[in-house]
Structure 1
């Protein structure tokens, strides 16, 4: 089981985003509407109230979602350049087949399939969509409890890891341990193609990262961003551009007392399922929505 429940991305054209993920990723629309004012307030984004949203589910039927929320483009925003949630990572059953599909799609392939330096258990590729969303599409070469990685059940399956860009990796990793109570691996330094490309780093440059596991599966990755990374620009009172929110399960909301940016309340719908949900803010200012449930 995964603790990850949803990745939320801000988009300029909501119907186009829904069509893109339906036609090329195999996702289906399960809920749509306007963001309620109380939910926008919980997200620290009152200006996002009333904007359209769509919740989509992978073809596998896994109850781990993508959510798109309408927002106005932000001048100066560039993906993989600022702190906060950096990318959505979806697990796939055959990355070479996905690559062929993406080459025919409106997504731009920015990283073809390749083995990942230091991680022999996965084979990722990367694409970018019309809303500047960066999506990792990762074949799981060694699923199971030993690796903490899932077995995809459709060509493109659910989000399985969310990537957080950090100005201080060790500080953020300690926050994940102390606040969320999750085990975090020691930092690993790898050649990270997307960060090298975005920051113009030397070919041999390495990036430190850690991963965190819950309920037996890896679902968070924290990356140390290099010099040149910035705070994410945003419109006043609105959700930040790019990946705006990660939503996870946590079985012990009492543990999080004293850390809430928005106190838990009961919410309905396919994502919340009538459970309590509140909002935390990570050390870099990223929104982490927490729904009661799951097991650590």
Structure 2
């Protein structure tokens, strides 16, 4: 596993996966991820997430071939939530992942495993990357981005070092974008980056809005390293339904490196605890819930 652990770096994106064996196969077969750790969720880890019902659930920690340039993805077995629909509720909406050749990946992807929401195409006003969007069988959304320019809009974007590389931005659906940005700045010690107002095709499609409907998004960052894209979701968005005692369905949890848990200005679900394994590396870890119902796991670096 490569990549420096610095304040604000994304270490992992976690997906709550009702059909865990099939999801594991999708990520390893279709996207080429490698399993670097697997087992069962311990009682103390489940409690730290506010998900006591997932004690004993299977998990798989995944990395791109060769470790990639950044963080992991993690699948955790969960319960299906029939009312959940991707890109319709507050919380973590998508994980942005760097890929070498988006059009080639789009052409070969098994759409039974990853349903294409939007084909590869430029985003109006942006020249640094070409994204396309897919939804996995667990309702999670991935933005698969071919990075063309590594420096843009005050941020450094990673060019993929594998056909499918690491997650580099966490996308958050906010009920109140300004309040959520302020929380990530004041409570976590991240920085507010640039804001953009764009026709956001996958959001417009999800809510049946006109193609030219505009959404305002704000980046958070540390220095030139991106952290989250915080999107102002339409008034029709909902609180995300979830199975009692479990993580939210779909894009469930994002893990960031943090300089000091003692400096965090928000309550944790459970007190910090030292955790082992490739993701945690013997560091103190704790989880909190942000103003848009986002679960944020923090690992001291």
TM range (shorter): over 0.9
Residue of structure 2 equivalent to 1:254:
262
In the aligned structure 2, how far is the partner of 1:147 from the partner of 1:230?
Answer: 31
Unmatched tracts of structure 2, length 5 or more: none
Unmatched tracts of structure 1, length 5 or more: none
Residue of structure 2 equivalent to 1:79:
86
Residue of structure 1 equivalent to 2:204:
196
Please tell me whether the aligned partners of residues 64 and 158 of structure 1 are also in contact (alpha carbons under 8 angstroms): yes
Residue of structure 1 equivalent to 2:26:
20
How many residues align structurally?
Answer: 293
Q: 1:227 aligns with which of 235, 240, 245?
A: 235
Residue of structure 2 equivalent to 1:118:
125
Mark the CA change 1:59 to 1:105 in structure 2 (over 3 Å): closer, same or farther: farther
Please tell me whether the aligned partners of residues 117 and 190 of structure 1 are also in contact (alpha carbons under 8 angstroms): yes
Note the 1:206-245 alignment, pairs <5 A.
Answer: 206-214=214-222, 216-245=224-253
Q: Please tell me whether residue 272 in structure 1 is matched to residue 280 in structure 2.
A: yes
Q: Tell me the TM-score normalized by structure 2.
A: 0.93
Secondary structure at the counterpart of residue 211 of structure 2: coil
Residue of structure 1 equivalent to 2:39:
33
Note the 1:129-140 alignment, pairs <5 A.
Answer: 129-140=136-147
In the aligned structure 2, how far is the partner of 1:128 from the partner of 1:287?
Answer: 20
Note the 1:160-199 alignment, pairs <5 A.
Answer: 160-199=168-207
RMSD, matched Cα:
1.6
Q: Tell me the TM-score normalized by structure 1.
A: 0.94
Residue of structure 2 equivalent to 1:291:
299
Please tell me whether the aligned partners of residues 117 and 133 of structure 2 are also in contact (alpha carbons under 8 angstroms): yes
Please tell me whether the aligned partners of residues 185 and 210 of structure 1 are also in contact (alpha carbons under 8 angstroms): yes
Mark the CA change 1:15 to 1:215 in structure 2 (over 3 Å): closer, same or farther: farther
